[in-house]
Amino acid sequence: MAQSRRNFLKATAFAAISSSIAASTPLNIFAQNNKKTVSSGSKKMKLSFKPYDLQLRHVFTIANSSRTTTPVVLTEISFDGITGYGEASLPPYLGETQASVIEFLKKVNLEQFSSPFELDDILTYIDTIAENNTAAKASVDIALHDLVGKLMNQPWYKIWGLNKENTPSTTFTIGIDTVEVVKQKTREASPYNILKVKLGRDTDKQMIEAIRTVTDKPIAVDANQGWKDKHQALDMIYWLKERNIVMIEQPMPKYNLDDAAWVTERSPLPIFADESFQRLTDVLKLKGAFSGVNIKLMKCTGMREAWKILTVARAANMKVMIGCMTETSCAISAATQLSPAVDWADLDGNLLISNDCFNGVTVVDGKLKLNDLAGIGIEKHKS
């Protein structure tokens, strides 16, 4: 543990360097060159937004809550006849609401910028409007990335230099439920190569045993901070490993990093931070306490910071997964642009809803499949 902390202090210096390198991507150079191609003052960006409620196909239960809907706010940024789409997903436990997002977005003034290619300046400004509000900020970030990609006529995986053939399989999430419902959900998940199971209650073993009567596919476990004692958590992890569980997400309460580090050091499976992790500045604070981090656009303010997090985590020799909330294909497709560079993907949020308003990334034989549409790779349903 002490050695890990010493390594953290040594790593802090290169974190700043890695962050600077991440900011100096080919896009920023492209953007600087392309400022000349946009006629200053003749075109302005316009931001619009509206609330929308996602309807879940099943009641969704995690260690400490259940719900049947997820509120979101859909955003659009228009410029020179082209529109980019974004989204803020607002599960109740994150603390943002449709009202708070709309209040934040009313403060955004994009007309002060002459070009969407000033992406870094724009998103730095967005981040300074108010503290927190990360999903609200992500809704602007995603729409802006979609717009810029469309103006460049390129999908973001290409702008980032990634190979779309390297997308991973996505997990398919099974929430906490009765044995019979868990079996039903497991049968419905037959097209997927890996399952994600929510644990963290006194029915954990019952849940796993129910799934194992249906399939022997690998399982990722998300305890959602539900295990309070580190010794019991470690015993549970060893029990899970014997049943083809391949990774564990957030086993301990988010602020209890000492116990998380104790479990991670002894665990036979990789341990990922979710609730303990949010933004770029958290990455190296968690080195030694977790094997890796789970990047979620709604928590890190969007695609720009997600790319920086990936860069710094790799430099720190940490594993990376890309996750999601319950979202439409808009935010899911945005996150999937990054997926060829990660170790694990949990991007099934759009598959859990019945009223998606976009077409985007698909899942073929359990594997995420990127298309070649410019921007984040989506098309809006015709209303």
Please, what are the domains in the chain?
31-150 (3.30.390.10), 158-380 (3.20.20.120)
Specify the pLDDT at position 11: 47
**What does 168-195 look like in DSSP terms, one character per residue?**
PBBEEEE-S--HHHHHHHHHHTTT-SEE
pLDDT at 33: 45
Which residue ranges in the chain fall short of pLDDT 70?
1-42, 60-66, 383
pLDDT of 5 reads: 43
Over residues 2-31, the pLDDT tens digits come to 444 435 444 443 444 344 444 445 555 454
The pTM (predicted TM-score) of the whole model is: 0.88
- Which pLDDT score, from 0 to 100, does residue 36 have? 38
pLDDT digits (tens, 9 = 90+) for 85-105: 999 999 988 899 999 999 999
